[in-house]
Amino acid sequence: MKAIVSVIGKDKKGIIAKVSGALYDMDVNIEDISQTILQEYFTMIMSVEICENAPRFDVIKSNLDELGQKIGVQIQIQLKSIFDSMHNISLSKSN
Partner 1 sequence: MYSTSEILETINMVSHQHLDVRTITLGVSLFDCITDSPKRTAEKIYDKLMKKAGNLVKTGNDISGEIGVPIVNKRIAVTPVSLVSASSKGHMEIIKTLDKVADETGIDFLGGYSALVHKAMTPYEKEFLLSIPEALSTTKKICSSVNVATSKAGINMDAVKLMGKIVKDCAYLTRDNDSIACAKLVVFANAVEDNPFMAGAFLGSGEDDAVVNVGVSGPGVVKVALEQVDGDLTQVAEVIKQTAFKITRVGQLVAREAANRLGVSYGIVDLSLAPTPVVGDSVAHILEEIGLESVGACGTTATLALLNDAVKKGGIMASNHVGGLSGAFIPVSEDAGMIKAAENGLLSLEKLEAMTAVCSVGLDMIAIPGDVSPEIISALIADEIAIGVVNTKTTAVRVIPVYGKKEGETATFGGLLGEAPIMPINRSDPSKFVNRGGRIPAPLHSNKN
- Residue 69 or 95 having the CB closest to partner 1: 95
CB 5 within 8 A of CB 75: yes
Query: Which residues make up the interface to partner 1 (CB under 8 A)?
Result: 4, 6, 8, 32, 34, 36, 43, 45, 47, 57-58, 61, 76-79, 81-83, 85-88, 95
Q: What share of the chain is helix, strand, coil (3-state, %, to 5)?
A: 35, 40, 25
Minimum distance, C-beta of residue 36 to partner 1, in the bound complex (Å)? 6
Q: C-beta of 47: minimal distance to partner 1 in Å?
A: 5
